[in-house]
C-alpha cells in the first residue's frame, strides 16, 4: 500500500507485450486526468523489480506460436519472484481485460480511477452467471475450487 495516494507508483512489467499495455494505460489515464505510473521495464529478470511498488507479470498469449517457450519464461519469472519474496499480479486475458486489471491495481495510488473502472469480481455479476474462470477475482476462484472439490467428493 502506498504511503500517500499522490505518490508513485513505480510499476515493473515482467514478460513480453509491455509496450502496448503501457501505451493503453497512459492513454486511458490521460483521458481521465490522472498521472500515469513510473515504469520500470524488465522482461527477463525479477531482480530489477525489487524497487517497484507493483509488479505485473504479463501472461503469455495462448495463441502465440511459441507458447511453450513463453510459458517456460513465465515460470522462470514466477520462480524468481517467489525466491525474492515479491508479490505480483498476473495480467491475462484480452488486451481490454489486461488494461482493466492493471488500472484496477493502480486505484490505491490513483483513487480517481475507481469511478471510471468497470466493476469486477463476485459482486459485479448478475445472479445465475458463473464465470470464475475468467474474472480473475481470487475469492471467486476459491469458490469455484471449493465447488469442484465438493463435486468430486460426492462422486
Shared domain for 92 and 33, answered yes or no, is yes
Does residue 36 lie in a domain region? Answer: yes
**Residue labelled with grid coordinates 445472479:** 127
Shared domain for 72 and 85, answered yes or no, is yes
Count up the domains in the chain and report the number: 2
Does residue 130 lie in a domain region? Answer: yes
Cβ distance 57 to 90 under 8 Å? yes
With 80 as the cut, is the pLDDT of residue 127 above it? no
Shared domain for 82 and 127, answered yes or no, is no
Tens digits of residue pLDDT in 76-118: 888 888 888 888 898 888 888 888 889 999 999 888 888 888 7
Domain with 139, as residue range(s), is 119-155
Predicted TM-score (pTM) of the model is 0.67
- Which residue would you say has higher pLDDT here, 36 or 133? 36
Shared domain for 112 and 125, answered yes or no, is no
Shared domain for 88 and 44, answered yes or no, is yes
Rounded CA-CA distance 131/116 in Å is: 23
Amino acid at each position: 500500500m502506498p504511503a500517500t495516494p499522490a505518490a508513485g507508483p513505480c510499476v515493473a512489467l515482467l514478460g513480453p507485450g509491455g509496450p502496448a499495455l503501457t501505451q493503453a494505460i497512459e492513454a486511458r489515464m490521460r483521458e481521465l486526468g490522472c498521472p500515469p505510473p513510473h515504469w520500470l521495464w524488465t522482461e527477463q529478470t525479477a531482480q530489477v523489480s525489487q524497487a517497484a511498488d507493483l509488479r505485473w507479470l504479463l501472461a503469455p498469449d495462448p495463441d502465440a506460436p511459441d507458447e511453450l517457450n513463453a510459458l517456460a519464461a513465465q515460470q522462470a519469472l514466477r520462480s524468481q519472484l517467489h525466491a525474492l519474496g515479491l508479490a505480483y499480479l498476473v495480467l491475462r486475458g484480452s488486451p481490454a481485460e489486461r488494461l482493466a486489471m492493471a488500472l484496477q491495481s493502480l486505484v490505491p495510488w490513483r483513487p480517481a480511477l475507481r469511478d471510471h473502472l468497470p466493476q469486477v469480481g463476485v459482486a459485479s455479476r448478475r445472479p445465475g452467471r458463473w464465470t470464475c474462470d475468467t474474472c480473475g477475482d481470487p475469492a471467486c476462484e476459491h469458490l469455484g475450487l471449493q465447488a469442484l472439490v465438493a463435486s468430486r467428493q460426492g462422486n
